[in-house]
Amino acid sequence: MTPRLWAAVALGGLAVVILVAAVVLVPWHRPPAPRADQLDALRDLPQEQVRKGREFHSALRPGSYGAMVLGLAVTLALGLTPLGSRLVELAGRPFGDHWVARAVLGGLAIVLVAEIVTLPLAAWRHTIMVRYGLSTQTWAGWAVDVLKSYAVSAVIAAIALLGFYTVTRLAPRWWWAFGAAGAAALVVLLSFVLPVLVEPVFNKFTPMEPGPLRTELVGLAQRDGVPVKDVLVADASRRTRAVNAYVSGLGPTRRIVVYDTLLREAPPEEVASVVAHELGHAKDRDVFTGTLLGALGAAAAVVALYLLGGWGWLLRTAGVDSMGEPRALALMIAVVSVAGIVAAPAQSLVSRRVEARADAHALELTRDPGTFESMQRRLSTVNLGDPDPPRWEYLYSASHPSTVERMAAARAFARGER
């Protein structure tokens, strides 16, 4: 068989494996959260807070969705015209048009253009978060975080691009196979590396002081059979008033992380309720599931890009000769961007099912639905959540069950419904 036929077979095989993995590993059963309980929960929430949360999200939507649309428009303008290939050429010209310069600097230049174009909308979102009291950052602090984010993304992208185009040069007919394996390996590597190397770039972590709460959280993890290396406190208050906690890392790097804002806003039993939810992710190996699906998806994307290289009209539109050359970077990014927007509802659905299972785990572990419900009230109030968002937005982008769904699940659990 030809390489292209092998690639088509491989893509079909990856699609089947992804489907099977999703069916087996994703918790499609949804814990009970009756709509009647949701409506009762909505009525029980302070109506002034509900109004404020909805106003906040209404104010954010134009900037958030505007940035998505504008970013996509810029990406398509660069990828589906010769503009992108010319930008890559310009990036490599000072270095003698060396392929490394084209691959790395060209890719970073394309991403930077999209970042710069959408930067005013990101700044607009920051002004709204400050106006509603959720952000505590100055403009200087916000700008530093933007630069840090781009720097981290640039390093990861540079490594990925250098590896990818090294493969395309060494194996021009079979780069899709080696590239798919490399993309999957990079996703797995980042799952281990990001919590240890990247999180400290944005937050300072300090061990939680010995005391009843730390003892309770460690005991909760032990009772759950989830070994953790440490309990850390993140200095989230220097940028936000939002409250949160999470379990980060895999294996020997796993640790419980609690926002300092959560410690200030919530009583210990509510902190334990949030941590119990996060332990559920570790207990059910949700990071493993996400990493596996991400690795398989990255591999499939590389193979699909190779097959798209057989569409002559697409290459001509972009002004390139092959999908495996650095000048096709903008086209590749455009294709991936469109795929990401199309896949967003499915990704959100999977995320909501995983989060609902973690909620059920927290309820089973703590056996305290009252505290769980009060914590959901606090999360919605402090984080300015919309407790019952518009259906279209919920289906497209909600990564968690809504506040009223989570409160309803607690009420159903209290009645013995599972």
Which position among 37, 224, 286, 359 bears the catalytic label? 359
Q: 277 among the known binding-site residues?
A: yes
Separation between Cα atoms, residue 210 and residue 358, nearest integer Å:
27
216 is catalytic: no
Residue 342 CB partners (closer than 8 Å, separation 6+)? none
Q: Are strands 231-234 and 245-248 parallel, antiparallel or unpaired?
A: unpaired
* Whether 334 contacts 219, CB under 8 Å: no
Which position among 37, 278, 373, 388 bears the catalytic label? 278
Question: How many other C-beta atoms are found inside a 10 Å radius of the C-beta of residue 257?
Answer: 23
Separation between Cα atoms, residue 113 and residue 215, nearest integer Å:
49
Q: Which amino acid would we find at residue 157?
A: A
Q: 29 among the known binding-site residues?
A: no
Separation between Cα atoms, residue 332 and residue 288, nearest integer Å:
27
* Whether 309 contacts 335, CB under 8 Å: no
Sheet holding 205-207, edge to edge: 205-207, 231-234, 255-259, 245-248
Separation between Cα atoms, residue 352 and residue 331, nearest integer Å:
32
Tokens 């992710």 sit at which residue?
281
Q: Which amino acid would we find at residue 133?
A: G
- Counted residue by residue, the chain has a size of 418
- Tokens in use for 311? 């569409």
Closest Cα to residue 178, out of 188, 189, 186, 168?
Answer: 168
* Whether 243 contacts 261, CB under 8 Å: yes
* Whether 246 contacts 262, CB under 8 Å: no
Question: How many other C-beta atoms are found inside a 10 Å radius of the C-beta of residue 80?
Answer: 17
359 is catalytic: yes
* Whether 234 contacts 247, CB under 8 Å: no
- Tokens in use for 305? 């890009």
- Helix ranges (DSSP H) in 260-328: 260-265, 268-283, 286-308, 312-318
Which residues are tagged catalytic? 278, 359
Binding residues for Zn(2+): 277, 281, 355
Binding residues: 277, 281, 355
